[in-house]
């Protein structure tokens, strides 16, 4: 562990000393991004090392995607709370429930409890057809309405997946692996914030902070430079990733995705927390607050919170 910590600190000091160069610098008129360090991190640093290492950790991390994939293979309970608002900010629909997922031999079933809804949340409550696309996507990602059996593997999307499955996977990349390119029409290239030409629009920083006032973390953040704040140059307005200092694993992330041009308008803020159980990561808390307006679908302004708990790694 000491060697890992030394290596990590070595990476940090290098960011102080060397401009963070990226591919295609010439095409950007030699624009370089710099990593800023807070005083605590600078004090802890000892020597220089390869400047690419830390950013490589951020980019290679797939803990969030894997955490949501892992939910398919563990028994748990979760509470779900949704609110939908009109253009004046008045609530027009809401929904709450508690779900109990049971997994036996990689086959999962789900029981719905304490269901309560108001307004026009459903088109047909008996068939669980929704008036809101956000709820449809949530259902597709988290709910199971019949017995489903799968084999755990590292491939998060199959080669023979349907067009809709691949589209949903790209949306999950956008939501749970921000900073990397997601194959989403019109905005995919704008999500690659660590590559040219997007890197020039951001300030990057490494700092030290407590996550949820409990876990001591290194924090990697990316924020749009003030001069680009109100321009449609970017999709990711803010990204903050928390690395547990004791394990160097991602345990939390805050980010804002926003865009307003042409057929797409959206502005959403997301907070995600993970926990580790028997060597695997699982989400324990997701909050979402924002709106989106895309072609063919009606505008939706939504707040929701999902909480996951009572995980059981053995079959009942």
DSSP class of residue 26 equals: G
Judge contact between 55 and 226, C-beta under 8 A: no
- Which of 130, 132, 124, 136 is CA-nearest to residue 164? 136
Which residues are paired to 288 by β-bridges?
Answer: 270, 304
Which residue is it, tokens 């509470």? 79
**Residue 151, exposed/middle/buried by CB under 10 A (0-12, 13-18, 19+)?**
exposed
When pLDDT is cut at 50, 70 and 90, the band that residue 175 belongs to is low
Predicted pLDDT of residue 91: 97
User: Looking at residue 188, what is its pLDDT?
Assistant: 61
Please report, rounded to a whole number, the percentage of residues in the chain having pLDDT higher than 90.
Answer: 37
Give the Cα separation of 47 and 156 in Å (integer): 38
Contact 212, 100 (CB under 8 A): no
How sure is the predictor about 245, in pLDDT bands with cuts at 50, 70 and 90?
confident
Q: What is the pTM assigned to this prediction?
A: 0.80
């Amino acid at each position: 562990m000491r060697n890992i910590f030394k290596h990590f600190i070595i990476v940090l000091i290098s960011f102080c000393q060397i401009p963070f160069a990226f591919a295609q610098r010439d095409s950007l008129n030699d624009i370089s991004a710099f990593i800023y360090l807070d005083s605590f991190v600078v004090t802890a640093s000892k020597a220089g090392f390869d400047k690419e290492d830390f950013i490589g950790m951020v980019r290679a991390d797939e803990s969030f995607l894997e955490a949501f994939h892992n939910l398919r293979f563990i028994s748990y309970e979760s509470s779900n709370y949704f609110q939908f608002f009109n253009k004046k900010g008045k609530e027009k629909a809401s929904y709450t429930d508690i779900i109990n997922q049971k997994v036996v031999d990689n086959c999962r079933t789900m029981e719905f409890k304490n269901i309560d809804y108001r307004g026009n949340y459903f088109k047909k409550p008996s068939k669980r057809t929704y008036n809101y696309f956000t709820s449809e996507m949530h259902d597709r990602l988290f709910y199971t309405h019949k017995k489903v059996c799968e084999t755990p593997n590292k491939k998060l999307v199959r080669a023979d997946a349907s067009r809709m499955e691949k589209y949903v996977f790209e949306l999950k990349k956008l939501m749970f692996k921000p900073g990397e390119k997601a194959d989403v029409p019109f905005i995919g290239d704008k999500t690659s914030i660590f590559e040219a030409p997007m890197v020039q629009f951001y300030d990057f920083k490494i700092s030290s902070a407590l996550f949820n006032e409990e876990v001591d973390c290194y924090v990697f953040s990316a924020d749009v430079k003030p001069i680009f704040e109100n321009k449609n140059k970017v999709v990711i307005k803010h990204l903050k990733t928390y690395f547990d200092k004791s394990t160097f694993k991602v345990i939390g992330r805050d980010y804002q995705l926003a865009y307003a041009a042409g057929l797409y308008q959206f502005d959403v803020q997301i907070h995600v927390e993970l926990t580790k159980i028997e060597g695997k990561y699982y989400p324990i808390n997701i909050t979402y607050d924002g709106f989106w307006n895309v072609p063919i679908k009606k505008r939706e302004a939504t707040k929701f919170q999902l909480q996951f708990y009572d995980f059981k790694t053995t079959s009942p």
